[in-house]
Amino acid sequence: MSSAPAVTIGKKESLSWSIVLSILLMVAGFLAITLPQVAGIAVNLMVGWLLIFSGAVHIVYSWQTRSSGGLVWGILLGLVYALIGGYLLANPVLGLVSLTLGLTFYLFAEAVLELVMSYLLRPLPGSGWLLLDGIVTLILAVMIWRTWPSNTDWVLGTLVGISMVFSGISRLMLSLAARRVVPQSA
């Protein structure tokens, strides 16, 4: 009988933390939008470290599975990951230029795939949203491409900041909705 309130208190406490973290995520997103150069360099450094870690994992995995073949290719792939990660860490500004160009190619490919998917799914309700998303993504890719490399000091940080703000808002809305439900389930 006494365990039910403890569970409810745990859920309420968890939701409170979720709300606090959502607000912190939105604040961090606004800071990234306000200081896009700093956020862009931070993203570049994070990607650099992740690539180095991934390269090490590839090398270790290739060595552990060397009996199945592909040892040389696995080690080469790991070295490529590690070298690119090292380049991003050693040259953060040039790395940011490279990441911005990579983002442009990614957005262009995403736009093409969304446009194709919207065409293939056009009989279904809601396919117009895919078309709109594809058009907006294509416009964004072209805008970044046409101003590259002069835009590299703000594009990545601004986009990451916008993403963080929207993630924080959606998490906050879900947490607030769940908070209204928790007392009813107690």
Q: What is the pLDDT of residues 117-147, one digit of tens each?
A: 889 988 877 778 888 888 988 998 898 899 8
pLDDT tens-digit readout, 69-128: 778 888 999 999 999 999 999 999 899 998 899 889 988 998 899 899 889 988 877 778
Nearest to 100 by CA among 29, 43, 33: 43
Following CA atoms 62, 68, 69, 74 in sequence, which dihedral angle do they give, to the nearest 10 degrees?
Answer: -20
Q: Round the CA-based radius of gyration of the chain to a whole number and report it.
A: 22
* Cβ–Cβ under 8 Å, residues 41 and 92: yes
Tokens of 22: 């959502």
The answer to whether residue 12 scores a pLDDT higher than 70 is yes
The answer to whether residue 23 scores a pLDDT higher than 70 is yes
Mean pLDDT rounded to a whole number for the chain: 86
Residues in the chain: 186
